Amino acid sequence: MKTFKMLSLGIEKDDQVTDYPVNDGIIINQENSERSWILEMLIDLEHQDTFDQLKKTKETVAVQVVISYPGNEPAPFEVEVHDVKIMGDHVSVLMKGTLKRARRKYAETLLSELLEDGLEGQDLLERFEIDMRTRPGLRKDET
């Protein structure tokens, strides 16, 4: 098994990513035949209802996790919430899931699509930076 520090978590829904500030977190690669991972994080109490609902529905959700260093590109996972517990002033959320196949050349494809949309200069740079953080679906993925 390998462990890593979880720095942030974003839940994808309808091509949008909602970020949840992680006060502390760990991610564990179980290195088993199912390629399963365990993610556990401490978040603010105000987000408890969101994760309680996900636990209740047993819904598999797409998440983006920044691991180890703030500048790292988010890693895409599909997870299910298994446990939500209050711990002092925070909520502990335990999730289990798998790493989605990494999308190759995301940046190049995104840049190509933004250029096709006619963006240039500062507008292109700002949109590219935003989309690299939020990781919206690409048109080439839809075809």
Mean pLDDT over each residue of the chain, to the nearest integer: 89
Cα 70 → chain centroid: 13
CATH code: domain of residue 11: 2.40.10
Task: Tell whether 73 and 137 lie within a shared domain.
Answer: no
Phi, psi values for residue 18, rounded to 5°: -100, 120
Task: Tell whether 23 and 44 lie within a shared domain.
Answer: yes
How much helix, strand and coil, in percent to the nearest 5, is found in the chain? Answer: 30, 45, 25
Task: Tell whether 63 and 24 lie within a shared domain.
Answer: yes
Task: Tell whether 64 and 29 lie within a shared domain.
Answer: yes
pLDDT digits (tens, 9 = 90+) for 83-120: 999 999 999 999 999 998 655 577 888 888 999 999 99
Task: Tell whether 31 and 94 lie within a shared domain.
Answer: yes
pLDDT digits (tens, 9 = 90+) for 60-82: 999 999 898 887 778 889 999 99
Task: Tell whether 138 and 88 lie within a shared domain.
Answer: no
pLDDT digits (tens, 9 = 90+) for 51-62: 999 999 999 999
pLDDT at position 109: 83
Q: Which helix (H) or strand (E) holds 17?
A: strand 16-21
Task: Tell whether 117 and 95 lie within a shared domain.
Answer: no
Task: Tell whether 20 and 88 lie within a shared domain.
Answer: yes
Task: Tell whether 94 and 110 lie within a shared domain.
Answer: no
Q: How far apart are CA 36 and CA 51, in angstroms?
A: 20
How many domains does the chain contain in total? 2
Task: Tell whether 77 and 62 lie within a shared domain.
Answer: yes
**Residue 40 is part of which domain span?**
2-99
Task: Tell whether 111 and 88 lie within a shared domain.
Answer: no
pLDDT at position 130: 87
Task: Tell whether 95 and 118 lie within a shared domain.
Answer: no
Give the orientation angle of helix 121-134 with respect to helix 106-116, to 10 degrees: 140
pLDDT at position 142: 53
